[in-house]
Amino acid sequence: MDVGKYLGLLALMLLSLLALYSSPVEACSCMPSHPQTHFCNADYVVIIRVMRKSLRLVQDNVAYKVEVKKSYKMNEAGHKLLKHGRIVTPNSDAMCGINLDIGKLYVIAGRGPYLNSCSYVKEYLKMSVVERRGFAGAYRKGCKCSVQPCFGQSCLSEHQSATSCKWSPFAKCETDYSACIPSHYRTPEGIISKCHWRRTPAYKKCMSDP
């Protein structure tokens, strides 16, 4: 067989296998994201109370009946997804599903029809005050800025653009106590805007004693 045709056939077979077996993996193959990124990219951001868990599986997914206590963000897609008070997630951890405890309050930033381990899901009582304020409005102010994941100390010290903030997934201070927001400066060339980490009292305390 011609080598080119053989390689093409082999590539086609590999793609077919990936398409067959990769769906559960793709569902939760994601880069770490700052809570602000979750907020800005979400179809809906809500506080929900979990009422019950459905025992009936639909295509390997499980549904939770929830009560929406407060809505921080809701586009048309989000409204359609939540209009029946139901959240759907894969049935197992192996398929990137999430587990919610009945009766507890959660903040959820969802995108698309399913929640998975890439989604922002956090018990309300375990959120910092700054996180709660972020979802209540501070993160919205920063949606014109992007939070860029950064790995390694050298990358954090490199120059960053005016439209983004660098963020390490291991940086507790920026994750729990700050938001990336724009500030406006007057210069001889006119007013410019630059994104930076908001220096809240909790953030400054964390930075002084990380």
CA triple 202-30-158, angle to 5 deg: 55
Of 40, 28, 29, 32, the residue nearest 149 (C-alpha): 32
The sign of the CA dihedral 75, 51, 87, 96 is: positive
* Contact indicator for 107, 88 with CB cutoff of 8 Å: no
Please tell me whether 28 is known to bind a ligand: yes
Element (H, E) at 93: none
- Binding-site residue ranges for Zn(2+): 28
Which residues carry a binding-site annotation?
Answer: 28
